[in-house]
Structures are given as C-alpha cells and as structure tokens.
Amino acid sequence: MNAKIITISREFGSGGRSIGKLVAEQLGYAFYDKALVERIAKESGYAEDFIERRGEDATSKSSFLFNLSRSGGGGFDGMPAITDKLYVIQYNTIKKLAEESPCVIVGRCSDYILRNEPDSLHVFIHADAEFRARRIVEIYGERDNAPLKRVEEKDKKRQVYYKNYTGRIWGMSENFDLCLNSGKIGIEKCAEIIVGLAKK
Amino acid sequence: MNAKIITISREFGSGGRSIGKLVAEQLGYAFYDKALVERIAKESGYAEDFIERRGEDATSKSSFLFNLSRSGGGGFDGMPAITDKLYVIQYNTIKKLAEESPCVIVGRCSDYILRNEPDSLHVFIHADAEFRARRIVEIYGERDNAPLKRVEEKDKKRQVYYKNYTGRIWGMSENFDLCLNSGKIGIEKCAEIIVGLAKK
C-alpha cells in the first residue's frame, strides 16, 4: 500500500492521538495534531485556543442544528459564519500539509478532506464510553466530576460538526479503510496494525 | 487477546467469506458459513435454500418495513412471522456453536448475537460497490447484467434485516472491534490482521 498520508479520526478519549503519534514516530512521518492547530493559527490569525474550541466540535447549542443538518444533508447550513470560515482555512491547510511531506493528521475532518488522495490510509479509532471516561481521567487528568457525561457530550459535538461539513455519519465504517476498537485491541497494537498497513 | 470466537459480518461481494475461511484455516478453528446453514436446516427442518434466502436478508418488499423498523428501533416488528421464527432458530444455533469449539462464524447477525461473549473478536468487512460488483462477476460468476445494482439491492436487504433484529445500524464501527476495507487492504492482508489479533 505504501500510504504516505494517514488520517486518524477518533472518538474523544479513545487514544487516537497517542496512536497517531506512535505511528508517525515509527514511520518517520510528520505528525499533525497540536502542530496542525499551530499551523492553522498561523494561516488564519485566529488564536490556537479558539481553533481548539471551534475547529472540530459544534458549539453546545447545536442539537437543533444537528437535526437540521441531518435532514439537510450537511454543508455550511448549520454553523455560525465564523466556524464556516475556520473550516475553509482548515481545509486549505490540511490539503497543503498533505502535499508537503508524508504525514499523520489527527481529526478535523481530514479523512473527508483527503478522501481522494492516492497513497492515503484513513483510520477511525473508537472504544466504549466507559473505557474512554476512565482514560481521560487517568491520562489527561480531567477533573470533571462526570467524565462519562463529558465523553458523551464531546461525541455529540464532533458528530454534529462532522455531519455538517461532510454530510457523513460519524463512525460509519464505509468512510474508512480501517476502524479499530482501541479499548479491546490496545493502543500499541493499533499502532502496529496501522504501521504494518502503511508499509505494505 | 486470544479470541476463540470470531464473527465476520460483511457487505455482499467484499470477500468476507473468503477472509473468514483463511482465518479459520490458519487458526485451526471451525468455520461456519455454509456449514451454519446446514446446521440450521438440521435444527429447524427448513430447507437450506429457504434459510439462504430468508435468514439474513429482508424480502424485497421491505423498503416500507425498513422505514418502519428504523423509526421503531427494530426487533420483531417488521418481518413476516416465519422470518422471525427462523431468526430465533439461528440465534439458538449460533449460541450453541460458539460454546462447542473455537470458531469463525460468517454473517447472520452473529456479531450481535455473540456481542457479550468473552474472548470474541467482531469483524466487519466492507469495500466500495464497484470493487464488489467486479468481484461477484469474477469470483462467483454472477451472470446478472447489472452487478452494481445487485450489490446495492443486497446491501439494502441486509441493512433492513440487521436493523430489524438488532436495532443497530449496519456498518457502524462502534459495533465491531475491527472494520476493514478489503478492496484497499486486500483479502490476504485482512486475514493476516485478524489472525494476528486473535492470537495476541
């Protein structure tokens, strides 16, 4: 296969970021997670914190918008104008990065944006909510009293954002080459499978 | 992981059956595809041909039923009584087989039926419709003049059947430990990944 572009979409707390980092290290690829936010900040002039909050998740008022975008088929009809603007900047930045050098890109609809690139591998990482709730407490030191609720809210916001800009249902296997349950398979083994496929 | 029960759900024409056979051979596990139909025939008294036609796909009148079952959440409310009866027999047979010996079971909602079994690995195999249309002509010698249409119709019927009896959306990654795009990854490599995980 020899995948030069690897996108990793992931449920919140599933370890997708850690897996992407391992894969990038093992393959010697550029890794765009925090570095992607920095690059988008540079291109757009928006603050990194703003991009973190608005570049991947819908705002919290969106359950109404979610239904709207589901029925409407998605695409620039349910988000505030500034979020639409940020999406376009992210789109262009991700396209540019993918041309620069072999890379692993985490999140921000990169699977959709780069869906037609040759030599690409699109991965989705998921795990059950309990595993993820435990993980955000252990790894990220989340202090929220209700980590399970936090995981579910974050899931919902990512679903809404993704549906709005891609017209796709979040987590459908048909949109990926590989979907892995990190809670069952383990972080290292997930990385090993991806590296094995990328080098094939 | 040491998975003793492997279920393989698959889109029509994706090579899921071939992958399951390779996995069973390499692990020395029992393989239930055609053998599952024979066993269900023995348990139920129904003809194998009837089980082939009615034990996994909705009948063709089902687009109305599909909508019904989608809104109703699934479960014994949209299928003819005889199909419900066959589902129960399949359910019991699959449960029994999983207790007998390590095995690979293909299709028939086995992922859902065995979802809570310890030491199980649930796999979904998919590929784009063009790949599958070519494959059913090449491998199975399908003579249909419109293989793409045949693939799409079969997909729809499996979706309806699956939704009706499991309440789940067909192909959602959250219901599986591993989802693989066989068109991109290749049949042998898919089998290799599954074997590697089962033996972990």
Nearest neighbour of A177 by CB, restricted to B176, B181, B197: B181
Q: Is the Cβ–Cβ distance between B193 and B121 less than 8 Å?
A: no
Q: Closest Cα of chain B to A37: distance in Å? A: 27
Are B1 and A196 in contact (CB < 8 Å)? no
Instruction: Summarize pLDDT for A8-59 with one digit per residue, the tens.
Output: 999 999 999 999 999 999 999 999 998 899 998 988 888 898 888 887 887 7
pLDDT, chain A, mean: 87
The pLDDT, as a whole number, for residue A142 is: 65
Spell out the domains of chain A, with CATH numbers in brackets.
5-198 (3.40.50.300)
Q: What's the distance, Cα to Cα, between the start and end of chain A in Å?
A: 5
Q: Using DSSP, state whether A181 is helix, strand or coil.
A: strand
Instruction: Summarize pLDDT for A133-188 with one digit per residue, the tens.
Output: 999 998 877 666 788 998 999 999 999 999 999 999 999 999 999 999 999 999 99
| pTM of the entire predicted model | 0.89
Closest CA to A39 of A26, A51, A23: A51
| Chain A residues in contact with B184 (beta carbon < 8 A) | 1, 121, 177
- For chain B, give the percent of residues with pLDDT over 70: 88
The pLDDT, as a whole number, for residue A11 is: 95
SS3 content of chain B, % helix, strand, coil (to 5): 55, 10, 30
Mutation to test the A interface, candidates B10, B174, B192, most A Cβ within 10 Å: B174
pLDDT of B64 strictly over 60: no
Q: Which residue has the higher pLDDT, A124 or A165?
A: A124
Are B185 and A177 in contact (CB < 8 Å)? yes
Q: Using DSSP, state whether B39 is helix, strand or coil.
A: helix
- For chain B, give the percent of residues with pLDDT over 90: 62
The pLDDT, as a whole number, for residue B140 is: 77
Nearest neighbour of B184 by CB, restricted to A124, A177, A185: A177
Strand order in the sheet with A30-32: A30-32, A103-106, A5-10, A120-126, A178-181, B178-181, B120-126, B5-10, B103-106, B30-32
The tokens for A114 are: 């780069």
Q: What is the mean pLDDT of residues B7-22?
A: 96
Q: Which residue has the higher pLDDT, A116 or A66?
A: A116
| Chain A residues in contact with B173 (beta carbon < 8 A) | 124, 126, 171-173, 176, 179
What are the two backbone dihedrals, phi and then psi, of residue B60, each rounded to the nearest 5 degrees?
Answer: -70, -10
- Residue B124's contacts (CB-CB under 8 Å, 6 or more residues apart) are A173, A179, B8, B9, B10, B111, B171, B173, B175, B176, B178, B179, B180
The pLDDT, as a whole number, for residue A187 is: 96
The pLDDT, as a whole number, for residue B168 is: 94
Q: How far is CA A152 from CA A108, A114, A155, A165, B56, in A?
A: 18, 27, 5, 20, 32
Q: Residue A76: is it exposed, middle or buried by C-beta count within 10 angstroms (0-12/13-18/19+)?
A: middle
**What gap in Å lies between CA A30 and CA A20, rounded to an integer?**
10
